Structure 1
Amino acid sequence: MSSSSPLRRRLTTAGLAAVCATAAAGVWLAAGGTASAGTVSGALYRDPDTAVARWVSANPNDSRTAVIRDKIASQPASRWLSNFNVSTVQAEVSGYVGAANAAGRIPQLTLYGIPNRDCGGASAGGAPDLNTYQSWVSNIARGLGNQTVLILLEPDSIALQTCLSSGEVQARDNALRTATQTLKAGNPNAKVYLDAGHSTWNSANEQASRLIAAGITSADGFYSNVSNFNSTASEAAFGRSLISALNSRGASGKRQVIDTSRNGGASGDWCGDDNTDRRIGAYPTTATNDANIDAYIWVKPPGEADGCKYAAGSFQPDLAYSLASSAPNPPVTTPPTTAPTTPPTTAPTTAPTTAPTSAPPAGAGCSASYQTTGSWSGGFQGDVTIKAGSSAITGWTVTWTLAGGQSITQAWNGELTTSGSTATARNVSWNGALPAGGTTQFGFLANGTASTPTITCTAR
């Protein structure tokens, strides 16, 4: 699903100067690390059916494809619920959340259906009235399952109120409070975050007052920088000020989520459709190494337009390539130095099928293990983890035999080919070189019935 793109206003020249002063500290902030975030831990879910994934699949020979595939399509991003449809949204949410749960990953949802959203700007739309809006939210809540899910409720709904009368502001605040409570009641493990604008919009004190009025006491925290370009360092500093202001008003224990999808380069005006100085920022993760920040999320999917040059929410490969072309490669995971001391707080509703399928690596070798991370009538999703042996490797090739009736339809994080019943996956540009004991993953979608294959890994 494509997202709409809320307009993200700036405040003053002084605010812009503050962003520039801190931008160097925030560019390419490390997304990895062993420390978890404030209240969330675990891997974020990568939806295989996104606009960028579909474009990559349909354009294998485009000169931009490798960069867009390796640096954008390979990453998790939030699923936007922006096409208002009361009758079908529960099934959509249930399918998306269920796939994430089956994969043992954390789904991320952005709800964007409030009446009079974006004050009638480029992303106008939403529910016709607040009663219908609450019916929509109630149906979303019924599809959330019972495991951790991150919910970003209504971008711009609190920071942007210039088009609303005082009575309309109060009605919206009441609607957001009710929506938060409805979502939390539907899934007590849901993490719900409210709109905080960004570091060059409203002041922390002003935004704290608005968040209190909108019911943040019932929420888990707030998010900032959605569809914007302010540095992570600036947003984190703004978040600390906002948390302090909330604490002073009796709303303690709140955490921040930061949209890092496009904040690795220049800041400036709200539109990114024709600015070639913008870059993707920190890769999505819950390991923020900051107790105040639950996650860095790609809320605005990189490559989707803002609405000033192209239609809001439409995927534009030129935008995606510009954001990713000079960005660093995604991190390659390495084994932790110590084992976790506590088990995960949630588990998949259905246990994934996992089996080690090659011998433990020795020397400059590699091993591979397979996991069925989702299945449905007529198809399944598989993930393969490659692990280097006791010496570093510069590349890897994985092969296995497809069972009868199986055919691969899509792959990510690996160059995958088939010849007859033999499937072969090779590393892409950024995940072939692994340190001793280092790991990486690739995944695929396939038609047919899932099975556990015997996999061979060969290192280079």
Structure 2
Amino acid sequence: MSPSRPKIMAAAVVCATAVAGVWFATGTASAGAISGTLYRDPDTPVARWLQANPSDSRSTVIRDRIASQPASRWFANFNVSTIRNEVSSYVGAANAAGQIPVLTLYGITNRDCGGASSGGAPDLTQYQNWINNAAQGLGGRTAVIVLEPDSIALLTCLNSSEIAARNQALRTATRTLKAANPNAKVYLDAGHSTWNSAAEQASRLAAAGVADADGFYTNVSNFNPTTAEAAFGRSLISALNGRGITGKRQVIDTSRNGGASGDWCGDDNTDRRIGQYPTVNTGDANIDGYLWVKPPGEADGCRYTAGSFQPDLAYSLASSATNPPPSSPTPGTSSSASSSPSSSPSSSPSGSPPVIGSCAATYRTTSSWQGGFQGEVTVRAGGSGTANGWTVTWTLASGQSINQVWGGVLTVSGSTATVRNADWNGRLPADGSTQFGLIGSGSAGTPVLTCTGR
């Protein structure tokens, strides 16, 4: 499972709204238990890529078919001290827009059974603290919560006592979230239609406290057709009803299920396509939403780092899609590749140094915890741009190491860390910029960066 930092539009569309050349669906629900418009976050990896690469030949397709659509925000960095503000900021922005935020909470202990998206809370006590703080940031309006992908369908790494403890943690988390915001819609992990049987999955959902939730979600980060997932959902609802658990509904991740199904990893499969566009207007009383839980273009962790945005994956998903975007711009509305989603992504850190030579780089810490940190580096080109790429170097502090980089290629020699551009973000136009992210061990500090253009 890959976090995002990391799966639509039913046939009936009430209207469409154009903002800065980007179109997205609006309307109210005709089925299910949610009514309103899903929130399109302007500060996403795909939006930042578009801002940094306005002349890329892929940008128009990626913008019109992916960045224009609402997708879930993944909260996957375990930091008890910051999660409340992170959730509150995101939910507050959605509330200000009069739209419904979708949050994927992904921090449970031993998540992904040590796979490509391993991590999460060190133990379940700290996990509950994290959930408690997240709940305090939810506000009081409608919010959709996708709680802990893989936490119920994937149990192979846990023994019986660990499964019981996880079930208790999920029950408590659901009750905590619902108590903090009674309007929150909480859904639990039901895997997908080609994983566990409906009877088995219903038993697991019951043990994990689905009775207190609004329902379950399926197909997160997967590729099974919507029709198969809906049929699986009906079987699950029937099995839950047989256990005396009634009134539960389904949400389906349709971000990547418009093409081939099969193997779980989408990094290497070229016959993947975006599916139905995000909406709560499903036309099915059992289904509360078709959501893009896994943001299209974010990797699974096979060929690329889990959760990193990869434009080649995004372009493949979007360009091969057979379903057009919900609407097309009206005559006279710009659709050039230089258009970007409304509300520009977060600006570069204040006090950025002037570009001397071909490029400059600035660093900011985006998250920190005991023994580690996550950071972001903005590379800005000078007036001549970078024709063949860029390289950023700095000296690691004592006890510090860099464990993971996305948006660039890392090498370490002694105490010197070097990040060179990825194959898609090396050529920067005059005064253009791009970003790469990193995760490190030790104290974050404030590194002195040197940028060299090529």
> Taking structure 2 as the reference length, what is the TM-score of the superposition?
0.70
Say yes or no: does 1:332 pair with 2:327. Answer: yes
Find the residue that maps to 1:61 and give its secondary structure: coil
The whole-number CA distance in structure 1 between the counterparts of 2:200 and 2:36 is 33
C-alpha separation in 2, matches of 1:248 and 1:132: 35
Amino acid at match of 2:102: Q
2:133 alignment counterpart = 139
Match of 1:190 among 184, 188, 210: 184
| 1:59 counterpart = 2:47 | no
- Give the corresponding residue for 1:148: 142
Out of 247, 254, 259, which is 2:253 matched to? 259
Q: Is the 8 A contact 1:32 1:285 kept in 2?
A: no
Assess if the C-alpha contact under 8 Å between 2:60 and 2:336 holds in 1. no
For 1:307 and 1:234, locate their aligned partners in 2 and report how far apart those are by CA, in whole Å: 25
Is 1:177 the counterpart of 2:137? The answer is: no
Deviations 1:57-103 (A, max 9, x none): 10000000000011001110000010111100100100100000010
Q: Name the CA distance, whole Å, in 2 between partners of 1:31 and 1:192.
A: 25
| 1:21-420 correspondence runs (5 A) | 30=11, 32=13, 36-327=30-321, 328-332=323-327, 395-397=331-333, 415=336
1:222 counterpart SS class: strand
2:415 alignment partner in structure 1:
none
Tell me how far 1:330 sits from its aligned partner: 1.4
CA RMSD of aligned residues (A): 2.5
The answer to whether the Cα contact below 8 Å between 1:46 and 1:74 also exists between their aligned partners in 2 is: yes
Supply the distance in 2 between the matched residues of 1:220 and 1:331 (Cα, whole angstroms): 28
Whole-Å separation in 2 of the counterparts to 1:446 and 1:208: 41
Q: CA deviation at 1:414?
A: 5.2
Amino acid at match of 2:200: E
Whether the 8 Å contact between 2:6 and 2:295 is mirrored in structure 1 is: no
Aligned equivalents of 2:9, 2:98: Cα separation in 1: 27
Deviations 1:129-149 (A, max 9, x none): 000000000000000000000
| Map of 2:385 onto structure 1 | none
- Counterpart-to-counterpart distance in 1, 2:345 and 2:78: 31
- The answer as to whether partners of 2:44 and 2:345 remain within 8 angstroms in 1 is no
Identity among equivalent positions (%) equals: 73
Supply the distance in 1 between the matched residues of 2:76 and 2:281 (Cα, whole angstroms).
Answer: 28
Contact 2:223 2:260 survives alignment (8 Å): yes
SS for the counterpart of 2:320 is coil
User: Over residues 29-53 of structure 1, what are the superposed CA-to-partner deviations in whole Å (9 max), with x where a residue is unaligned?
Assistant: 6474775231001110000000000
Distance in 2, Cα, partners of 1:106 & 1:5: 19
Determine helix, strand or coil for the equivalent of 1:75: coil
- Cα distance in 1 for residues equivalent to 2:3 and 2:204: 29
Amino acid at match of 2:149: P
- Equivalent-residue separation in structure 2 for 1:37 and 1:170 (angstroms): 35
How much does 1:307 deviate? Answer: 0.5
Separation in 1 of the partners of 2:292 and 2:12? 12
Report if the CA contact (8 A) 2:278-2:289 is conserved: yes
Query: Which amino acid is 1:166 matched to?
Result: S
- Return the offset for 1:443: 3.6
Q: What secondary structure does 2:149 align onto?
A: coil
Against the structure 1 CA distance between its residues 35 and 92, is the aligned structure 2 distance closer, same or farther, given a 3 Å change threshold?
closer
**For the residues of structure 2 that align with 1:135 and 1:316, how far apart are their CA atoms?**
33
CA distance in 1, matches of 2:90, 2:345: 17
Query: Is the 8 Å Cα contact of residues 29 and 232 (structure 1) preserved in structure 2?
Result: no
- In the other structure, the counterpart of 1:378 is none
Q: How far did 1:4 drift?
A: 6.7
Contact 1:288–1:295 (CA<8 Å) still a contact in 2? yes
Aligned residues of 1:221 and 1:255 also touching (Cα < 8 A): yes
Q: Distance in 1 between matches of 2:174 and 2:6?
A: 22
d(CA) in 2 for partners of 1:167, 1:309: 35
Partner Cα separation in structure 2 for residue 156 and residue 281 of structure 1: 21
Q: 1:326 offset after TM fit, Å?
A: 2.5
Equivalent-residue separation in structure 2 for 1:242 and 1:31 (angstroms): 26
Structure 2: distance between partners of 1:188 and 1:223: 19
The amino acid that maps onto 1:224 is: T
Q: Distance between the aligned counterparts of 2:12 and 2:135, measured in 1?
A: 30
Aligned partners of 1:155, 1:66: CA distance in 2, in Å? 31
